[in-house]
Structure 1
């Protein structure tokens, strides 16, 4: 009996969210929902729930490197997504691994959790700028992360364009600036995707739903999943945006705080 066709292969390099809404857990749920085979390199363990991050423990560099090599050298990979890399040492280790991997890399420069808890040491910011962003196919900062990395405070779409230019100056091929945190009560959420020569403005409805935990992880993983399927960056981002919009609309209450987006929304029709 012949085996079934193998799905595209995607690797996430990120931290664990014990509450299941973000991090490795969100990444793997997204990959399953989008029809790719998800694999993981764990960078940190967090004690986390709907109310916040109550503790975080970073894995040693050698553990991260060993996980990555075990997967890539035997199984292979068609796209990689990075998330929580809490220290300069981990950022530089992962950047080196990505540089030696022939696959697109989606870098989500995670700085703080949905609840405002720091997930990246201030001392690691320069390593993100100088080693990680230069090896990214797509960098996906939100507006808070733009401020952390560039010092720019973005308040409108013109500011998003300036932010994209500043992020691109660090070396990624594409910048996806996520505008969900723009001030005001606009009926739509806007993101900007650009490589410096072409721009794609992506609009989606803004839902009155506070349960948005895991949005950034989910979007970056969805982009990586579609890149692994062979889509171009603009195509992959548009498809990922559509998936995340559905997940946001279906976000549900969990515990006493902010619940997660629903990664399985498309199956619940």
Structure 2
């Protein structure tokens, strides 16, 4: 039985006041079997780890594949671990598109983070023109393969995949539950054929792309959707609490 996992990706938003507000709402909530991870901007990570109760994960939104050195502006795994951050989001479409991170770079980052003790939310997904050209699985498999070739079978235990159709991120457009389920199911079949049946059965696959308090209920009912990676709605305490409670 895969444990449902909801991640909140604040992106380049937030403040000390928002950390206090969201942590207060989540710390007081009952979310049953749902695992919660909150990804705040890097300067807010120490405060977030202090304020969120220990059962709520705190995640960085990116980290380097380098151990240390002359990489101005980057954050390494050891710094994150030193402030008790246990997760990192890697391969988000904005990192791929705006910062030109290739599939290969994402794969190496995922591997480096896991080998050095972090758990990873690894993002995959297609653009609108790729979906319209019926290339969704071609793109997703290419992104998955770059990760697969860097990991041992055992290391997949520390990976959560986040399927985020790029055309649905921050646009208000949402894949229908059937569209999302279809891709999630195909990802699971690919894992079974190319990694192992055990990894396919146990790897959690989140859906991300304009998930909100109104559509989360129908989306979570799909058999291969194991959670959400939430953007804008994670900045609103009431909405994020509703999404985190969607399995109750």
TM-score range, shorter chain: 0.3 to 0.5
The structure with more helix, counted as a fraction of residues: 2
Q: Please, what TM-score do these two structures have when normalized by structure 2?
A: 0.42
Q: Provide the TM-score with structure 1 as the length reference.
A: 0.40
